[in-house]
Structure formats: C-alpha cells, structure tokens
Amino acid sequence: MYKHIGKLYASHDKELKALIRSRLIEWRKEPTTTRIDKPTRLDRARQLGYRAKQGFIVVRQRIPRGSRRKPRPTMGRKPKKMGTVKITPGRSRQWIAEERTARKYPNMRILGSYYIAEDGKSLWYEIVLVDPTHPVIQADSRINWICDPTHKGRVFRGLSPAGKTSRGLRHRGTGTEKLRPSIGKYGRRGK
C-alpha cells in the first residue's frame, strides 16, 4: 500500500495537484508551525520511523522561499559590492524548517522531515517528532535509541537526515575528505 502512495506522489497526477492546490489556500492562513493529527504522506512518514502510536507527533512547517533580505548600506560603494542580493543561507530549507520546529517543541526529538508542497512565496515540510520521555517510546526497541541523551539537540548539530544531506555526508570519494566527522572540524569547512 505504501509503495502505491509513493508512486502517486511521484507521478505528478493532475487530480492530486488540484487537491494540494486547494489545501494550500487553507495552509496559508495557518500559523507557520502547525501540529497536525496525521501525516499527509504516510509512506514518507513511515520511512522516517513514524508509527501511529503515543509519543509520535507530526508538525507542518512553512518556510519562506527566495534569497535572504539584507538592508542596503548607507555609505558609498560600488553597487556590486553592496552585498544585498543573492545572499543565501548555508543550510537547506528543509534543515531550517526542522530547526524552527525543534525550537517550538524543545521537549521533543526530530526524527526526520519530508517535502509536501510549495507556492510562489512558501515551502511546506512535515516534521516527525518523538517524545523521548514517553513510556511507550522507551519500551519500543525500534525507536528507544532516540531516548539516549546524546540525541538531544541532534537537529542543531546536523544529525537529522536533512542535516546530513545538507552537510554533504551522503556523498563519498574525492572532494569529501574535509566533510567528516563534524561541521566544526577542519576550520568549519564542512558547511
């Protein structure tokens, strides 16, 4: 069943696009961080480790698109040296969305996230969170690894799947020697 759900999202079905477009009208009116009852893409949520049980929650996060805004300097210089355009963040939008969600829910741990939709102004991601203090999570041998104190603040250290991808850890071979083991190593050249 989950394989067919994944194929439906990958196929760019016209009916599915129309459904998402109608949902975006409602999502734009919501707060940027919104807790939801169940995942929109159940196949991706389950791949990340989501289970429909106590201790798991899903949050929809909205992120603005486009480059960062910076005020124009008042002192004179060449327009090229103003440094006001093409300023982009050093992290992916998905990683930024996870960090913002983690700040809203400080008692939870980020398991992962996935893309849902976008329009001209915003991107939407859904983030799967786990409560490490919940007895159901602590008793589950498949997920209780996240209860270990070493996983506290893992998203801020780039240890979530989106963080590892943004840091370049999904690549191997020539050119990736300075990426490991962490962001701070080798004069912070990892990011």
What's the pLDDT tens digit per position in 139-151? 999 999 999 999 9
∠ CA 165-56-44, nearest 5°, is 45
What's the pLDDT tens digit per position in 65-103? 988 888 888 888 888 888 888 888 888 999 999 999 999
Is residue 189's pLDDT more than 80? Answer: no
The 10 Å Cβ neighbour count of residue 36 is 12
Delimit the domains of the chain by residue range. 2-147
∠ CA 71-72-73, nearest 5°, is 110
The CA distance from 47 to 49, in Å, is 5
Q: Residue 98 class from Cβ within 10 Å (0-12 exposed, 13-18 middle, 19+ buried)? A: buried
Label residues 121-142 b or e (16+ Cβ within 10 Å = b).
ebbbbbbbbbbbebeebeebee
Residues 6+ apart with CB under 8 A from 75: none
Average pLDDT score over residue span 152-164: 93
DSSP state of 157: G
Can you give the pTM of this predicted structure?
Answer: 0.88
**Domain 2-147, CATH:** 3.40.1120.10
* Of 14, 3, 12, 11, residue with least CA distance to 44: 3
- Two tokens, residue 145: 């690894």
SS (H, E, C) 1-59: CHHHHHHHHHCCCHHHHHHHHHHHHHHCCCCCEEEECCCCCHHHHHHHCCCCCCCEEEE
Determine the pLDDT at residue 97. 96
15 — pLDDT class (breaks 50, 70, 90): confident
What's the pLDDT tens digit per position in 16-25? 888 888 999 9
Report whether 110 contacts 101 (CB < 8 A): yes
What's the pLDDT tens digit per position in 165-180? 998 888 888 878 888 8
What's the pLDDT tens digit per position in 91-140? 899 999 999 999 999 999 999 999 999 999 999 999 999 999 999 999 99
